[in-house]
Chains A and B, each alone.
Chain A
């Protein structure tokens, strides 16, 4: 009786066991969250105005942040991938910094720049009487600040993986650099772009530290879902659980849209003949 296993042999235990541990490590807290949720009053809580407010606000601000990130991030990623300019390494370092910065520190940095006494915020306030903190746009700014690096890194990676010879081909066919970007570079980076978009959105949706520090925490204006969860945690743990599960389900649904194929192409570039 011959064993019918895979052609290269069975997966070795010394790799499978830690992998399973990893899955358990990630899965157990999420399953526990689901298990502890008071499902009986899930729906009633879901429709509470305060919760719906927070949910609506989170959706609006995270999507707005993604729009900002896309508008700014694509050109930035293109410049980093395709243009040789002096100080490119420094610029790339700046882009990566928010990734490693604790979010609260990010919030403090945003205050220093755009707060009422901030470097840019102070002259703006003196001139127009407007300041960002405590407004919904401030939430968008905080979200964009933390998620821009994800997006730029993803898109830059995808652009770099695209063969530069395609740019040469397009030029010989008479395309301007803008046409080449629009019709060749960007479509070829498509999967990386989508992956970056989804990552940026997920990051913005979950952002807490920078938001509460820079934008504040007021129902309807600046109390996003993560803020609401934090507040509820002190008050009513059951409500906090419900909110957490809602946010988790939304995030999972979004990530399910992200197909493995896009990650593959983002890393290896488009499939060639």
Chain B
């Protein structure tokens, strides 16, 4: 059995909380590391980079031991780790070209060659016409592209992106997200994308690592994590509706005595999950075949990718995704009264015992 390309068990102890995360990966993997703020994602990633020393565990990559407490710890610069930060951190006194050429030049590549390589990478990221500009003259999206080029030009073995899209406008982030997924697909090493936005995970990564309170809450492909979230928290992180109750047949009785009708018979304590896209919102009382309807009040409205995500309070907290046009049409603002409906067939049921044949 061969060694994985990346074999990490990161244990970092801080007063108040501990980070204990395991991860293995192979070249070509793009792992989305998602979790709420303060979960320890950045600590985990910085420990892989070598900026934060391990208290326990190990980091092995490309056949080398990068960190084994008590034995050996490789300096940051010898690991070949590329990092892209939320705030770009382009060297202000160098041009975009100078920034991208910095990696190769630091390893002794002659200036001309390094600059040629740099131009190449800038072209791949679509910003080669900005080569002569200083970072202060670049927009957020342009700067982040240069930062990605800079990290990739150094030919890293491990690419760490720490919330690269968080500081960008929604539109800019959308475009860059798609480009990033293409570049990362071409990238030969292992890429880790830290984010608190599930959309990044779903569109860019081929694996998802959910970290909560310093520990791994779930690991799997984006589809697995989205459709079978292991905990409520994961579900909410990934943006699903979760209703807990006691199921009898296809009826689930919730704590407030209301019922949810599903299409999966089950017995016992269950979680009934459905995606925000499955929720229909109306202003007047709905008529139609949908078996589940709740009356609620809008608590927040925010853009989410190309849609609008509406949080409502309908006894339980619900999330609904609607088109921007609908949101305007229905006058969805916090405080507005709406009806939410979900088809029974859209609801998945986890937990409980499968019912016997009806």
Task: Give the most central of B85, B106, B107: most A CB within 10 Å.
Answer: B106
List A residues 173-187 near B (Cβ within 8 Å): 173-176, 179, 183-184, 187
Q: Which of B75-83, B229-237, B255-263, B283-291 contacts A (4 or more CB under 8 A)?
A: B75-83
Q: Whole-angstrom distance from the CB of B89 to the nearest CB of chain A?
A: 5
Given A168-B76, A172-B49, are A271 and B136 also a contact pair (CB < 8 Å)? yes
Given A166-B91, A270-B92, are A174 and B80 also a contact pair (CB < 8 Å)? yes
Residues of chain A contacted by B44 (CB below 8 angstroms): none
Residues of chain A contacted by B156 (CB below 8 angstroms): 172
Q: Is there an interface contact between B92 and A271, defined as CB atoms closer than 8 Å?
A: yes
Q: Whole-angstrom distance from the CB of B154 to the nearest CB of chain A?
A: 5
Q: Whole-angstrom distance from the CB of B48 to the nearest CB of chain A?
A: 11
- Whether A202 is near chain B, meaning CB under 8 Å from some CB there, is no
Q: Is there an interface contact between B93 and A170, defined as CB atoms closer than 8 Å?
A: no
Q: Residues 40-84 of chain B: 1 if any A CB is under 8 Å from the residue's CB, otherwise 0?
A: 000000000101000000000000000000000001110011110
Q: Residues 88-104 of chain B: 1 if any A CB is under 8 Å from the residue's CB, otherwise 0?
A: 11111100000000110
Q: Is there an interface contact between B92 and A272, defined as CB atoms closer than 8 Å?
A: yes
| Inter-chain pairs besides A171-B77, A172-B83, A273-B92, 15 sampled, C-beta below 8 Å | A166-B91, A168-B51, A168-B83, A169-B83, A169-B91, A171-B75, A172-B49, A172-B154, A172-B156, A183-B106, A187-B93, A188-B92, A188-B93, A270-B93, A272-B92
Q: Is there an interface contact between A173 and B103, defined as CB atoms closer than 8 Å?
A: yes
- Whether A41 is near chain B, meaning CB under 8 Å from some CB there, is no
A165 to B76, CA, bound (A): 13
Residues of chain A contacted by B265 (CB below 8 angstroms): none
Q: Whole-angstrom distance from the CB of A83 to the nearest CB of chain B?
A: 15
Q: Is there an interface contact between A273 and B76, defined as CB atoms closer than 8 Å?
A: no
A165 to B82, CA, bound (A): 14
Q: How many residues of A contact B (CB 8 A)?
A: 22
Residues of chain B contacted by A174 (CB below 8 angstroms): 77, 80, 103, 106-107, 154
Q: Whole-angstrom distance from the CB of B42 to the nearest CB of chain A?
A: 12
A91 to B116, CA, bound (A): 46
Q: Whole-angstrom distance from the CB of A187 to the nearest CB of chain B?
A: 5
Q: Residues 177-208 of chain A: 1 if any B CB is under 8 Å from the residue's CB, otherwise 0?
A: 00100011001101000000000000000000
Task: Give the most central of B49, B51, B92: most A CB within 10 Å.
Answer: B92
Residues of chain B contacted by A272 (CB below 8 angstroms): 92, 135-136
Task: Give the most central of A174, A190, A271: most B CB within 10 Å.
Answer: A174
12 A-B pairs with C-beta separation under 8 A = A166-B89, A166-B91, A168-B83, A170-B102, A171-B77, A173-B106, A174-B103, A174-B107, A176-B77, A188-B92, A190-B93, A273-B135
The chain A residue sitting closest to B142, CB to CB, is: A273
Q: Whole-angstrom distance from the CB of B71 to the nearest CB of chain A?
A: 21
Q: Whole-angstrom distance from the CB of A182 to the nearest CB of chain B?
A: 11
Q: Whole-angstrom distance from the CB of A264 to the nearest CB of chain B?
A: 14
The chain B residue sitting closest to A186, CB to CB, is: B93
Residues of chain B contacted by A169 (CB below 8 angstroms): 83, 85, 89, 91
- Whether B34 is near chain A, meaning CB under 8 Å from some CB there, is no
The chain A residue sitting closest to B79, CB to CB, is: A172
A188 to B49, CA, bound (A): 24
Q: Is there an interface contact between A273 and B88, defined as CB atoms closer than 8 Å?
A: yes
Q: Is there an interface contact between A273 and B77, defined as CB atoms closer than 8 Å?
A: no
Residues of chain B contacted by A173 (CB below 8 angstroms): 77, 82, 102-103, 106, 150-151, 154
Residues of chain A contacted by B107 (CB below 8 angstroms): 174
